[in-house]
Amino acid sequence: MTLPEFGSGKQEWRKHLVSRRKAVPAEVREAEAQALARSAAALAWRAATVCAYVPIGSEPGSLALLDELRSAGRRVLLPVVTGAAPLDWGVYFGEDSLVPGPHGLREPSGLRLGPNAVANADAALVPALAVDQRGVRLGRGAGHYDRSLAGVSGVPLIAVVRDEELVDLLPGEPHDVRMTAALTPGGGLVTLSGM
Ligand SMILES: Nc1nc2c(c(=O)[nH]1)N(C=O)[C@@H](CNc1ccc(C(=O)N[C@@H](CCC(=O)O)C(=O)O)cc1)CN2
Ligand SMILES: Nc1ncnc2c1ncn2[C@@H]1O[C@H](COP(=O)(O)OP(=O)(O)OP(=O)(O)O)[C@@H](O)[C@H]1O
């Protein structure tokens, strides 16, 4: 599949990546979700508290991934959108504990832990449309994760993408928080250069 030319803007990349995701057959998506859940469970051996997300639309991942982390004894935190402010966080206690949020999201219903919870996590799985070898991540363009992760240090930031969404070079801006790794269905955990 051809990629947009280097130098094209973030919006073109987003359009291209979203339409490519929508074309992925359901059975491929399901197989990829299972591979991601297995890799995430292995990763959890090194992480007591893991920030993660409930996938919407064609995003990679699944509730099964979150349940695997819980079964491995990890505390799983999920984001809560609070307008333009940094994301708040709540604990995942299984599918029944989720309530509808904005943008078709499902969010944790319980206690809010405050935006700082991510800084105290042991790892964060971050939704992304793509990530490049330097760790530059492309999100949905609302800036939620960039605002929430600015200033967070020492927490492995792991972009969850399909194999073909780990690309050589994305357009980056100074506010883009660099990811330390990518989690892909085919490659498992891939460390990124941070250069
Ligand atoms: N699963 C998930 N949770 C997340 C994010 C995300 O990207 N994915 N976020 C990342 O920042 C935050 C929420 N921000 C969001 C900002 C915009 C849209 C959005 O544009 N949604 C589309 C529908 C998407 C679809 O169905 O695929 C829409 O509202 O039209 C979604 C979430 C926190 N939680
Ligand atoms: N640390 C920050 N403080 C304030 N605004 C920010 C910060 N980081 C990003 N923004 C703003 O958020 C908007 C979206 O940024 P960008 O296009 O990089 O989003 P993204 O990384 O794709 O999305 P997201 O982080 O929501 O997944 C931009 O207008 C940007 O100026």
Walk across the sheet containing 137-138 and list its strands.
137-138, 130-132, 166-167
Ligand 2 proximity of 139 Cβ (cutoff 6 Å): yes
49-77 pLDDT, tens per residue?
A: 999 999 999 999 999 999 999 999 999 99
User: How much is the pLDDT for 1?
Assistant: 45
Domains and CATH numbers, the chain: 28-129+139-191 (3.40.50.10420)
Ligand minimally distant from the alpha carbon of residue 14: 2
Q: 93, exposed or middle or buried, with CB in 10 Å at 0-12, 13-18, 19+?
A: middle
Rounded to the nearest integer, the mean pLDDT of the chain is: 94
Ligand minimally distant from the alpha carbon of residue 108: 1
User: How much is the pLDDT for 93?
Assistant: 98
User: How much is the pLDDT for 151?
Assistant: 93
What is the helix (H) or strand (E) element at residue 70, kind and residue range? helix 63-71
Annotated binding site for ATP: 10-14, 137-145
pTM score over 0.90: yes
Which atom of ligand 2 is nearest the CA belonging to 128? 27
To test the pocket of ligand 1, the residue of 36, 118, 140, 148 to mutate (highest count of ligand atoms within 8 Å of its CB) is 140
Ligand minimally distant from the alpha carbon of residue 118: 1
Ligand 2 proximity of 151 Cβ (cutoff 6 Å): no
Give the pLDDT band of residue 8 (cuts 50, 70, 90). low
To test the pocket of ligand 1, the residue of 14, 56, 179 to mutate (highest count of ligand atoms within 8 Å of its CB) is 56
Give the pLDDT band of residue 4 (cuts 50, 70, 90). low
Give the angle subtended at the CA of 37 by the CAs of 34 and 41, to the nearest 5°.
Answer: 145
